[in-house]
């Protein structure tokens, strides 16, 4: 099944933007949106500042009630009002990353997505030396790059338990306090705004937060709850395995949908096979391959994928990336004869000229009959990010383990021609011309 341009764009948007947001916002995996109950603790967070008019007023109220909060600041505001950032830190509050210009991650390129986080971190650290631990993307929306970058850099993504809707035009100090105090509970993370410079925010909205905040803090005390820094409610590392396993389960279901839409199938209907395949039509320039084979526009090739769930079960407990590559080579050697037989016998594949894949784990594939080629253009950074995402997700050592392999993890095209496949794995059949 060939993908039209529209199908490809929809699938790319689903994978790049909608899927990460759905998994994190609605699946509650990979982000802190509530604290464990039982400690009588809640956390206050403020977005969109610092603001020269509202932030000092909020800091004064917090000081009066002797509570600490986390301010998720916008990078451009940090450069505009550096003394306010220093004042926040001096008062003992936490600082989080809220992006440099508060742009929606869904519509940002990979480079722009990374820059939103990098430039804000750099602005804060250059001005104050403060090391950023927390990140909250604008609007609480994600894409594949923001999720991956935060994981690779060890940034904890923080959302909220519920909103006070303090930023809308019709909000009042009474409605804000009422929404919070009627729903407040042990472990809640509250979000307010100390700036009104972002799209969608009602001008002067933080003034209502200033007016409502004393009543909220008094109500919190009356309910026997304590306001604590985010550091006091961040789950211990032992919880990470639970969240990661749940995340993998959700991602596995999403992958099945993506494969269905994009025509990626189990070869011969064998769902336990190591490979997944998709019949594609080549659209590029003439590509000379080994053995005098040319891949030309309009030719068919077979796109090769690994069964990630099976791979995850094979590498469980082994944190060596070299070992993972060896496992892929071993299982590929076992699976290629069956795949060659299917290509030989199934009339749907009679015109397939080559097997094609993009992978980070390409070392050793030449022994299987593949030839490796460098990726080029936009495909190189996109393939690198996506493959690292999958490898970090399924790798027992997680994303942090990949740092030691950063220079080695370079994606390659690997290609095997039809004659090479048959001569290696079906030696009794003469290679077709």
Ordered alpha helix ranges (H), 352-417: 379-394, 398-401
Instruction: Dig out the tokens for 42 from the structure.
Output: 């809640």
List the alpha helices (DSSP H) in 160-296.
173-183, 205-222, 240-262
- ∠ at Cα 24 (22, 26), nearest 5°? 55
Catalytic residues: 47, 193
User: What's phi and psi for 380, nearest 5 deg?
Assistant: -65, -55
Task: Please name the residue ranges forming H helices in 346-417.
Answer: 379-394, 398-401
DSSP state of 258: H
Instruction: Report CA-CA distances (Å) from 378 to 8, 72, 109, 233, 383.
Output: 15, 32, 11, 40, 9
Cβ atoms of residues 77 and 197 within 8 Å: yes
Instruction: For residue 412, give the H/E element and its range.
Output: strand 412-417
């Amino acid at each position: 099944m060939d993908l039209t341009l529209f199908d490809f764009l929809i699938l790319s948007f689903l994978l790049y933007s909608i899927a990460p947001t759905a998994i994190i916002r609605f699946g509650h995996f990979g982000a802190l949106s509530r604290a464990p109950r039982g400690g009588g603790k809640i956390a206050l967070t403020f977005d969109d500042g610092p603001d020269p008019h509202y932030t000092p007023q909020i800091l004064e109220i917090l000081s009066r009630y002797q509570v600490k909060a986390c301010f998720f600041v916008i990078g451009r505001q940090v450069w505009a009002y550096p003394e306010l950032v220093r004042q926040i830190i001096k008062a003992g509050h936490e600082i989080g990353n809220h992006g440099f210009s508060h742009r929606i991650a869904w519509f940002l390129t990979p480079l722009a997505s990374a820059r939103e986080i990098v430039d804000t971190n750099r602005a804060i650290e250059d001005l104050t030396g403060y090391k950023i631990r927390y990140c909250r993307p604008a609007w609480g929306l994600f894409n594949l790059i923001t999720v991956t970058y935060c994981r690779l850099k060890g940034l904890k993504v923080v959302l909220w338990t519920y909103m006070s809707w303090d930023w809308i035009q019709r909000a009042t100090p009474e409605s804000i306090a009422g929404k919070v105090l009627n729903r407040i509970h042990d472990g809640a993370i509250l979000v307010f705004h100390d700036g009104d410079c972002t799209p969608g925010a009602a001008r002067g909205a933080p003034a209502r937060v200033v007016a409502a905040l004393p009543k909220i803090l008094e109500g919190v005390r009356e309910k026997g709850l304590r306001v604590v820094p985010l550091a006091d409610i961040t789950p211990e590392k032992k919880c990470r395995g639970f969240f990661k396993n749940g995340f993998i389960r959700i991602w596995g279901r999403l992958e099945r949908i993506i494969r269905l839409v994009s025509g990626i199938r189990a070869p011969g209907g064998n769902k336990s096979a190591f490979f997944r395949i998709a019949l594609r039509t080549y659209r590029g320039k003439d590509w000379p391959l080994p053995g005098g084979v040319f891949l030309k526009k309009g030719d068919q090739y077979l796109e090769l994928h690994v069964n990630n769930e099976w791979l995850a079960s094979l590498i469980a407990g082994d944190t060596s990336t070299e070992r993972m590559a060896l496992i892929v080579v071993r299982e590929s050697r076992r699976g290629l004869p069956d795949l060659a037989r299917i290509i030989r016998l199934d009339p749907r594949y009679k015109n397939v000229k080559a097997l094609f894949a993009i992978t980070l784990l390409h070392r050793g594939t030449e022994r299987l009959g593949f030839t490796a080629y460098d990726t080029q253009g936009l495909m190189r950074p996109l393939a690198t990010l996506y493959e690292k995402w999958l490898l970090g997700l399924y790798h027992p050592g997680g994303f942090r383990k990949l740092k030691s392999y950063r220079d080695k993890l370079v994606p390659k095209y690997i290609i095997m021609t039809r004659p090479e496949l048959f001569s290696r794995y079906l030696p009794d059949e003469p290679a077709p011309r």
